[in-house]
Amino acid sequence: MNDNQILRLCDQVRETAFAIHNYHRQGHLEKIYENALRHRLAKQGLKVRQQIPLQVFDEDGTLLGDMTADLLLTDELLIELKAVKTLLDEHTAQLLGYLRSSKLRHRLLINFGSAKFEIKEELRMVWETPNNPEAPRKSPNPRGESTRQRQRGPVGRGLGVMGP
């Protein structure tokens, strides 16, 4: 998928997640929101895989263990869900670890646990490795930002905080 297709896909996920948040509000376990998002995206004809196992390897190829990501959409977009009062840096770090392990470049982090809907997105993650000459030297974001954060409506980019 090209970047424009990924952005449209992110908009579709954002709008669907926002509708779920408006209907169910906060107060459920993360699994309820995960199932709801999987169900609604699948109803829209999107390929959604749930509870994706990811293996973590050391630099010499030794398997260190496994992680489980919440959702993978069209084999391109990794979606991690939370049901917490507020998103923390640790949640972002967890998702970045999933990206490194999966070699995926696009992610969404969605929080359903707050009274206001929260979503973080970062596109075109390129990891700096000795074998990847295209990787950036200072920032994983092509715009030079660590993340794009703004307050916008359900189709905005970055960290969106929206009321019910």
* pLDDT tens figures, 124-149: 544 444 444 444 333 344 333 333 33
3-162 is classed CATH 1.10.3470? no
What residues does each domain of the chain span?
3-162
CA angle 82, 85, 91 (to 5 degrees): 45
For 2-25, the pLDDT digits (tens) are: 888 999 999 999 999 999 999 999
In what side-by-side order are the strands of the sheet with 117-122? 48-57, 63-73, 77-82, 106-111, 117-122, 160-162
pTM of the predicted protein model: 0.73
